[in-house]
Amino acid sequence: MAAPKSRGKTSRKPTETRASKDPGVSWLQMASSQDVPSGPGWAHIAFWSLATVALMWMLFTALQTGINGDDRMQNEYEQALISWYSTGGSDTTALNLPQTKMHYYGGVFEVLSGATNRLLGKDSPDQPGYHTVRHVWNALFGWLGILFIGLTGMLLGGWRLGLLALGMAFLSPRFVGHGVMNPKDIPFAAGYVVSLYFILRWLKEMPRPGWKTLLGLALGIGLAIGVRSGGLLLVAILGLFGGLHFIGKYGLSGLTRESRQAGRYLWYGLIPVAGGLVITLAFWPFALQSPVAHIRESLAELSNYGVNIRLLFNGDMVFAQSLPWDYLPRWVLVTVPLFILAGWLLGLGFLRRLIQRFGTLPILLLGFAFLFPFVYVIYKDSTLYDGWRHLIFPYTAGVVLAAMGWEALGSAWPERPWFTPVVLGLAGVLALDPITHMVRNPGLQYVYFNPIQGGMKGALGQYETDYWGLSVRQGLEWLEAEGVIYPGMENEVRVASNFAYPLEKYVHRYGGKVKPVYVRYRQRHDAAWDYGLFQSRFVDGSYIRAGSWPPPNTVHTIDVSGTPVLAIMRNEDQTAFEGISLQKQNRFDEAIPLLEQAVARVPGDEVAWSALAFCYLNTGQWDKTRDALDKTLAIEPESITALNYYGLYHANQNQIDQAIDAFQKAVRLQDNNFFAYYYLATLELQRRNLSAALEYGKQAVNHNPRFAGAYELVAQIYEAMGDARNAQAYRQAVSQIK
């Protein structure tokens, strides 16, 4: 028995020896695993100790974190999926959710959290603890991502590098904050980095990867695609770098000369991909109906997601479908910890050393996995919003690269024993800011800006802060602490917010006595309420920078690192609501005294001032109109409503140039402002500037296809141009609308 065993060993050695001596191998070979210690060692113990601390912290903060604004869609999908499974597929709601389009997403997270809730007897999102279960699952996925960031570092450079990567991931507030409440992007990121880890293991073990590696890779791919169809990128990464590994080892001629080995690469690549797809289909009923067609349909739909909300970015309001090219890079620059940015710079500076230490292929793979998604999204001019949360997944590879950069610096001068501790001390100093933020704000960790932006104080009025409305929970907790609301209360209290879903779910505990009211901040007087919980979401940066938010009738703020993210407002009376209600009914004379009372009580109420200006405008009180509009713009310098009204004011004064200037400024601030386009067309028609009038008129039609008046106006412009055919076409369009 001994002889055959010996022959088996010697039969493999020549191949390995030839590969190691082949001059074509060095540029693509994997780094040796000799740096990975076999025994525990101090770094090994520290790694698992820190991983345990990270798990405990994430579970703790998951219980402190509020419901996010997207949970409504997720919960609807979760309920539909559980119903599909529990009814044996007879309830087909999960196969088509046209409003939210959630059926285009895989259901791994929803099935797991939904099944857990069902086992615990929590069948409805209205039940206490339902969202806690979801947050716990989210924390487990977030921790899985952090753990495998560390394990990827360990795989490539040993336990010390693994510990460094783990710590850098754990001290990334945006990642950890999303990790406890973001059920879309975090499970996908976890699947992504798990897959990257096992792809690297697969490459190290080829041409005979172990079954654990194949199983782990299948699970990673299944998790990623089972959350979002974009996880197919991992299949491309496996194919690309598997091919490069083969070519580096055997050369291009190996495709024919080493056909058996080429077959191994193909076979051992197909096994985890097929396994991953089986896992995906098990959790995704929509894809299960027609795997190829429906996954392709999901990719097409999610790559052109039709959201076009206004966003605060770098002080300006921009639209999600018309973002400047630097939207992603700038968000990353001001929100990742400084030690990550420094690690990336160090990695570039020590690139040759990194290649020598870790091998070219791992650096290429991690660099591609990190940079390609960002470059592709920028190149495709994709719709984005809420910073870089949609690209949390490549950040996992970026953290490993940053850790490599610090490792390269720390080991640059081994002859100086004091140098490595100094480097680690410097990294520790840079980590103090995110650590302080996380400890001070356990329920709002994701709202983090680094010192480049001046922290939270520097971000206010420049970027979105609590864009998911988590602070609604803290707002209600403050009202309860003040005795305004409490379980068993007898009198009704109306609480308004611009984040309806979290508010609705949290007020169930008050026995129906707290009436939730959804209203947008700019239209906050369109409903009657007693207390308001308003984020600065969708509020113009100029308004915030002018000191108008939080507004004057704020009784308390929920702060992150000393900067307000939620204003708790008290409505002492309903004069503004009553006045605006009358204004909308064109009862201007009756509305004016009520609105005058409202602005006398709260002089900083730009909504009431704007409504009052409109009433003055419609009653011919020109001086008062101008004064009210000036007051509005002093509070909200970029008020589109006020600029529109100023255009009407100047037009009524026959000040055509000033009117056009006001409307043009309004459309520069909001390029879908059909109201302003309509009046610009009207004014240019009066000036007989027909080409400009036609362009403005068509813009009004494009931005509001149901606006019959815009079609009539364009028809008039065509008639003035002597184009009867087009004039008739637009008039026919009017009849179809009516």
Maximum C-alpha span of the chain: 108
Contacts of 734 (CB under 8 A, 6+ apart): 708, 711, 712, 715
Residue 120, both tokens: 């615990």
- How large a percentage of the chain has pLDDT more than 70? 94
> What's the pLDDT at 22?
39
To the nearest whole number, what is the mean pLDDT of the chain? Answer: 91
Residue 103, both tokens: 């059926």
> What's the pLDDT at 322?
85
- How large a percentage of the chain has pLDDT more than 90? 82
Kindly state the average pLDDT of the residues 19-31: 44
DSSP 93: G
> What's the pLDDT at 40?
57
Give the integer Cα–Cα distance in Å for 537 and 549.
Answer: 11
pLDDT digits (tens, 9 = 90+) for 159-181: 999 999 999 999 999 999 999 99
Using DSSP bridges, classify how beta strands 563-570 and 554-560 pair: parallel, antiparallel or unpaired. Answer: antiparallel
Residue 50, both tokens: 């820190």
Q: What is the CA radius of gyration of the chain?
A: 30
Q: Is the pLDDT of residue 738 over 70?
A: no
- The dotted CATH code for 472-570 is 3.40.190
Helix 232-250 / helix 211-225 crossing angle, nearest 10 deg: 140
pLDDT digits (tens, 9 = 90+) for 565-595: 999 999 989 999 999 999 999 999 999 999 9
Give the integer Cα–Cα distance in Å for 184 and 113.
Answer: 13
pLDDT digits (tens, 9 = 90+) for 528-572: 999 999 999 889 999 999 999 999 899 999 999 999 999 999 998
Q: Is the pLDDT of residue 128 over 90?
A: no
If one counts every other C-beta atom within 10 angstroms of the C-beta of residue 452, the result is: 13
The CATH superfamily holding the domain 587-737 is Tetratricopeptide repeat domain (1.25.40.10)
Q: Is the pLDDT of residue 5 over 60?
A: no
> What's the pLDDT at 350?
95
- DSSP per-residue codes, 339-362: HHHHHHHHHHHTHHHHHHHH-HHH
Helix 327-335 / helix 360-380 crossing angle, nearest 10 deg: 120
pLDDT digits (tens, 9 = 90+) for 328-338: 999 999 999 99
> What's the pLDDT at 24?
35
Q: Is the pLDDT of residue 405 over 60?
A: yes
In this prediction, residue 496 has a pLDDT band, given cuts at 50, 70 and 90, of very high
Using DSSP bridges, classify how beta strands 316-319 and 310-313 pair: parallel, antiparallel or unpaired. Answer: antiparallel
Q: What angle do CA 159, 165, 169 make, to 5 degrees?
A: 140
Kindly state the average pLDDT of the residues 489-502: 95
Give the integer Cα–Cα distance in Å for 122 and 229.
Answer: 29
Query: Taking a C-beta distance cutoff of 8 angstroms, is the pair 495, 509 a contact?
Result: no
> What's the pLDDT at 711?
94
pLDDT digits (tens, 9 = 90+) for 642-693: 999 999 999 999 999 999 999 999 999 888 899 999 999 999 999 999 999 9
Query: Taking a C-beta distance cutoff of 8 angstroms, is the pair 485, 514 a contact?
Result: yes
When mean pLDDT is compared across 46-50, 120-124, 170-174, 193-197, the lowest value belongs to 120-124
Give the integer Cα–Cα distance in Å for 369 and 363.
Answer: 10
pLDDT digits (tens, 9 = 90+) for 239-294: 999 999 999 888 888 888 888 899 999 999 999 999 999 999 999 999 999 999 99
When mean pLDDT is compared across 31-35, 287-291, 610-614, 634-638, the lowest value belongs to 31-35
pLDDT digits (tens, 9 = 90+) for 63-93: 999 999 889 999 999 999 999 999 999 999 9
> What's the pLDDT at 1?
39
Q: Is the pLDDT of residue 389 over 60?
A: yes
> What's the pLDDT at 319?
87
> What's the pLDDT at 23?
37
Using DSSP bridges, classify how beta strands 514-518 and 554-560 pair: parallel, antiparallel or unpaired. Answer: unpaired
User: Rounded to an integer, what is the distance from CA 502 to the centroid of its chain?
Assistant: 18
> What's the pLDDT at 232?
96
In this prediction, residue 31 has a pLDDT band, given cuts at 50, 70 and 90, of low
Annotated domain spans of the chain = 9-31+38-440, 472-570, 587-737
Q: Is the pLDDT of residue 8 over 80?
A: no
